[in-house]
Structures are given as structure tokens and as C-alpha cells.
Amino acid sequence: MDSIKNRRILDVLAGNPVDKTPVWIMRQAGRYLPEYKKTRAEAGSFLDLCKTPELASEVTVQPIRRFDLDAAIIFSDILTIPDAMGLELKFEDNRGPYFDTPLNNLDDVSSLTDENNSSLEYVADAIIHTKEKLNNEVPLIGFSGSPWTLSTYMIEGAATKEFRKIRSIVFNDADMLNMLTKKLVKSISEYLIMQAKAGANILMIFDSWGGLLNSNNYIDFSLNPMKEIISNLRKDKITKNTPIVLFTKGGGNWLNEISKSGCNAIGLDWTIDIASARKIVGENICLQGNLDPCALHGSKESIQNAASKIIDSYGFGHKHIFNLGHGIDQFVNPDNLNVLIKHVKDYSVKYHNH
């Protein structure tokens, strides 16, 4: 057994009682922190920051030094896998990440490699550096994008407005999408195992664009491939017991199906009431979320009220990990995040004393 001191999140995921609701924040290492901006400038670019283990580990621990968080998440990006598969990832400020030559057909997919762990070793190295810096204070979360979400970037070239290209391919070139999905399932499974081997204690799958799909297509092209990844992880001796969090943004319609995927926790965006979500998924699964990220632009009192509402809505029980419903944005004042985290810790105690 590992010797991590703050075990709240690991306890929640293992079904053990905790003294208060644990909290971490999606995108907790990011541009809202002045120290992140400084290290990013030192790295030269976002991609250099991701690919330099010493600096990636530094920004991973920055929010842990500043706030009373219960987990760190490795600083990287979901688009490292497409980059390693052969689509060169580019990044421009004010535009975000993109690919110059997105996939158009089966031949394009055939030319991608799915043997890419060796070119992703910088992520394993960043995890190893981070574990040293964390000194067992809190667990470390590793992550990947889902096959569907990575496919959207690889086919669209970037996050687009309508996602018309990939949404049409769902209907008129399922062979192409299935071949891509198959390669991604293999790559992602191996990548997550590599992260666990390097020291990640929890694994999270970000399905940021699952909510674009209709129900049948969500099951076929997003949930089933994620289930395959989970089953691959359960078959591997390194990850067979590693807790897995699955987050489909816009997935509120499919919580029952997601709860049967084999994951240990479901990430919720802010559009669903957490009490309703709990009723749907039952008591065997943990929930993570789900404050509207924009609540962090409110006054101290409104931030506290918004957080209390979520904690009240979840009610008694130990299977809630507090988080935002999506990533923190770059314009949030870090002091407001401190208000939120302190309040979650103080206010939630009453729901754990039983």
C-alpha cells in the first residue's frame, strides 16, 4: 500500500468514511495563477511546458502549495496522444490547440501509429518528478481524453462551433470512426497504464465532447469505447484496482448507463442537480462535481452559498468529491478559489459526523 498522507479522495473512492468532503479543481494548474504564467513564460510555450518534466511537475504542485486541495492532477493535455500518433499538435495563444492536417478518411487513419508510449515518456517522467515533489502529501491524478473527444479534435482540427464534420462522419463514414476509435482505445489504455506505473494513484477520462451526440451514438461511439478502456485497465495488474473517474460533459442524460461502465466515480457538469444524479446512479458509485465554474466570479458570500447548495443537495454520505462542473477559467481571482475550498471543508463537516 502507498503511504499517502491525505487519503480523503482515495477513501471516498474506496467507499470509506471521511471527515469532510474532499475537493480538487479541474484545471487547477492554469493561467488564473500568476506563478503558472511565470513558469509557462520560462518554458517558452504551452507545449514546451507540457514536454519538460521539470517544469510540468512544478506547475502541477503550484496549486497544492497555495490551496488546501486533496489531490494534484498531472499537468499535461488530452491532445498529447494525437500528437504522439502522428498529428503534430500546435498551440497558439488566443486560439488554443489545433492540428494543421486533420483526418479526412480511412487512409489518414491507417497512417496513424498506435504504438506511442515511447513518445509519451515525457508524461511518465513528469509524473515521477511530481511524485517526488508531492512527497506523499496528496494523491496524484493521471488522465486521458476519451476516444470520442480525441476523435473530435483529430477530425475537426480544433474545437469548432458546430462540429459538423465529425457529426456527419458518425452518419456517413462509421468505418473511419470505428478504426480511429479502435486505435485510440489501444493507445489510451496503454497510456493510462503507463501513468499508473509512473505513480498516478487515480485515473480520469475526460469526455469533454460526449454531449454532442444523440443517445444511441453516445453509447456506440463514446461510452462503449470508454468501457473497453476500463476493462483493459481492469485486466492489467498495475491498474486492476486503480480508481477511475469518468467525466462526460453534457452526460446528464446517460448517468444510469455511465454508472454501469465499471468506473468508480462519475464527473458531473453543472447542469444537473447532484441529488437527482445520486438517485439515478445509486449508492455504489461516487460523484464528482459540480459547481458552475462561473460561480467563482461572484462575491465571497455568493461563492459560499453556491457551494453550500451543492453540499446540501448531496446530503449525508461519503461518496462526494467536490469539484467544478468544468475547468476553472483564466479570469478567476485565486483568492476566490481559496474562499471556495475553505468553505467546502468547513461546511461539509456536518454531513460526515454520523
Q: Does 46 bind ligand CP3 (CB under 6 A)?
A: yes
Nearer residue to ligand CP3 within complex by CB, 45 or 119: 45
Q: Does 208 bind ligand CP3 (CB under 6 A)?
A: yes
* Active-site residue, 153 included: yes
What's the distance, Cα to Cα, between the start and end of the chain in Å? 28
**Can you give the length of the chain in residues?**
354
Which residues sit opposite 204 in a β-bridge?
A: 143, 245
Q: Does 327 bind ligand CP3 (CB under 6 A)?
A: yes
Q: Does 206 bind ligand CP3 (CB under 6 A)?
A: yes
**Helical spans, DSSP H, in the chain:** 8-14, 34-43, 46-51, 53-66, 80-85, 106-110, 121-134, 147-156, 164-172, 174-198, 215-217, 224-235, 255-259, 274-281, 300-314, 334-348
Subset of residues 88 to 127 that bind ligand CP3, contact rule: CB under 6 A: 96-97
Closest CA to 156 of 87, 219, 225, 110: 87
Q: Closest distance between ligand CP3 and the C-beta of residue 237, in Å?
A: 26
Q: Mask of contacts with ligand CP3, 245-284, x by CB under 6 A? A: ----x-----------------------------------
28, 39, 130, 348: residue in contact with ligand CP3 (rule CB under 6 A): 28
Q: Closest distance between ligand CP3 and the C-beta of residue 283, in Å?
A: 27
Catalytic residue chosen out of the listed positions 8, 70, 77, 114? 77
Catalytic residue chosen out of the listed positions 32, 36, 153, 191? 153
Question: Nearest 5 degrees, angle CA 103-CA 107-CA 108?
Answer: 25
Q: Cα 206 vs. chain centroid, distance in angstroms?
A: 4
* Active-site residue, 77 included: yes
23, 73, 154, 337: residue in contact with ligand CP3 (rule CB under 6 A): 73
Contact yes or no for 22/68 (Cβ under 8 A): no
Nearer residue to ligand CP3 within complex by CB, 190 or 207: 207
Contact yes or no for 347/50 (Cβ under 8 A): no
Give the whole-angstrom CA distance, residue 129 versus residue 329.
26
7, 8, 20, 40: residue in contact with ligand CP3 (rule CB under 6 A): 40
Give the whole-angstrom CA distance, residue 331 versus residue 266.
27
Return the range that interacts with ligand CP3 (CB under 6 A); candidates 13-21, 22-30, 98-106, 315-323.
Answer: 22-30
Q: Which residues bind ligand CP3 (CB under 6 A)?
A: 26-31, 40, 46, 73, 75, 77-79, 96-97, 143, 159, 206, 208, 249, 327
User: Which active-site residues does the annotation give?
Assistant: 27, 31, 40, 77, 153
